[in-house]
Amino acid sequence: MSSTRSPAPDEPPGLRTGTLTTADISFFVVSAAAPLTVMAGVAPIALVLGGIGAPAGYLLAGVTLAVFAVGFTAMSRHVRSAGAFYAYITRGLGKPLGIAAALVAMVGYNGMEIGVYGLLGSATADTTHALLGVDVPWLPVALAGLLLIWYGGYRSIDFGAKVLGVLLVAETGILVLLAGGVLLAGGADGLSLASFTPGNVLVPGTAAVLAFAFSAFTGFESTVIYRREARDPARTIPRATYIAVGFLGLFYAFVVWTVIQAFGDEKVVQAAADDTGGLFFAAITTYVGSWAADLMHVFIVTSIIASLLAFHNAINRYALALAEEGVLPTALGRVHPRHRSPYVAGLAQTVLGAVVVLGFAAAGADPYTQLLLWVNTPGMLGLMALMLLAALAVVRYFRRVPHQEGALRTLVAPVTAAVLLAVALWLVTSKVALFTGASPTVNTVLVAVVPAVLVLGLLLAARLRRTRPEVYARFAAEPTPSGDPSCPQHPTSSSPTPASATPNPPATPLSPSATD
């Protein structure tokens, strides 16, 4: 049952609580990953670099992130802050690193969203040219997209969930249609499982495939951002997290495998090299029809719009949480009285996006190779770094507070995830030229953004501790019941309840030395 409540007459409006189901949150997370865009735009490159073993790369990335989710979701039952990543890192690794993580999260999510406006402009131009023979400039499309996404974020969260549900069904549906056509026809040379044999998986190009595969899951961890708006978040958040990572891992591997079958094990790599951008369109034209290829063109644009809206909503809630913390201006913490959306944060994010887009356009930058890839890459690296820090935070948190979780969830899984994520981050960093196509100088700058923001965050934490100790002291604090209506049954961290009062008592608060 929804736990939505109306604010008291003298109480400022808050987010719409008890609204989002497991399916709704899953739509947000999977939409952020943009499955159709990732498959049609990136998977052919993975095939060129890694050969027919590419599907296994997506499975391996999915397994790694599923292992991460074990500890991540265990901690989600103990941390009720709306700050998501930075709240987890604060609890486990201390406030200085938590404040630094908050800045990295803002840079990361903004990078992942704003760069995609370049992709929206270029993909729309490609679609109108392919379908109508009309050449559309990318900048007006990107600016129109900014307004459209702003409106979607301005409306209520359940409105956004419905929109994303429709768009996600469309983009996954066209991929399922392609796969069905290939399977029914038996592929080009009969169906083969050679993609999963060790000889095709354990090849030098697999490292590059893994780098692309991990980037394809970006945003799956944002389930916890919607905690305040979720129904029964203690159950909804873990379920949505596992559904998102499980679906993406299996779906990506399945779709890439079916495209390999469409051309045959011996011919697909050359086909991908000859026409990287058109591989999926050629396959669906052959096995379904040209009308389906036309639909795929359209659904790639709607896939990008869905991803933009999903990231926009996540950014707004991060900004809202940091405004409530006192780290960002309090105006960003205002919630619309009717739509119950963080509308000021959404407006600020839209303005920031417009400034970046217009800046790249004024510089004559290419919307895809520069706006998308140069802005997206630091965002992707930032979110991967946050996952690594979050995995380490889970280990340290559960070593320092009483709990009833098992060692598998609190030690084995997060330690394993930390090792695997460290390898993944190294792979992506070492292969960054594959993502950007830029010069070594540009790549060095892009990779340096995340550590630079971390250092700035640590300096900000020291400044807050010295000049605004009250803000520093309450940073990432557990909400009171009135501040977290989604969990009215839980006690606050300052008023512990005996274990006998609840079947899953929250962990006792950390001592000052654990969080300062």
* CATH number (domain holding residue 476): 1.20.1740.10
* Three-state DSSP state, 307: helix
Domain coverage including residue 428: 22-485
Question: Which own/partner pairs from 347-353 qualify as long-range (CB within 8 Å, at least 24 positions apart)?
Answer: 347/150, 347/154, 348/319, 349/110, 349/113, 349/153, 349/312, 349/315, 349/316, 349/319, 350/146, 350/147, 350/149, 350/150, 350/153, 350/312, 352/110, 352/114, 353/110, 353/113, 353/114, 353/117, 353/146
Q: Estimate to the nearest angstrom the gap between the alpha carbon of 244 and the chain centroid.
A: 10
| Residue entry with tokens 């796969």 | 179
319 in any annotated domain? yes
Per-residue burial over 225-243, b if 16 or more Cβ lie within 10 Å, else e, is: bbbbbbbbbbebbbbbbbb
63 in any annotated domain? yes
490 in any annotated domain? no
Q: Can you read off the two tokens belonging to residue 133?
A: 């023979």
8 in any annotated domain? no
What is the predicted pLDDT for the residue at 497?
34
What is the predicted pLDDT for the residue at 29?
82
51 in any annotated domain? yes
CA distance 499 to 501: 5
Contact 58, 256 (CB under 8 A): yes
504 in any annotated domain? no
If one counts the domains in the chain, the total is: 1
List C-alpha distances in Å: 228 to 15, 329, 411. 7, 21, 27
From the CB of residue 325, how many other CB atoms can be counted at a distance below 10 Å? Answer: 23
269 in any annotated domain? yes
What is the predicted pLDDT for the residue at 405?
84
Among candidates 108, 473, 103, 457, which has minimal Cα distance to 325?
Answer: 473
Q: Running along the chain, 516 residues long, what does each successive block of 10 average in pLDDT?
A: 46 70 85 87 89 92 91 82 80 93 92 92 92 92 95 81 84 94 93 91 83 79 77 85 90 95 94 91 95 94 90 88 87 86 92 96 93 90 91 92 86 94 90 86 94 95 93 78 42 34 38 40
What is the predicted pLDDT for the residue at 514?
41
508 in any annotated domain? no
What is the predicted pLDDT for the residue at 406?
87
pTM of the model: 0.84
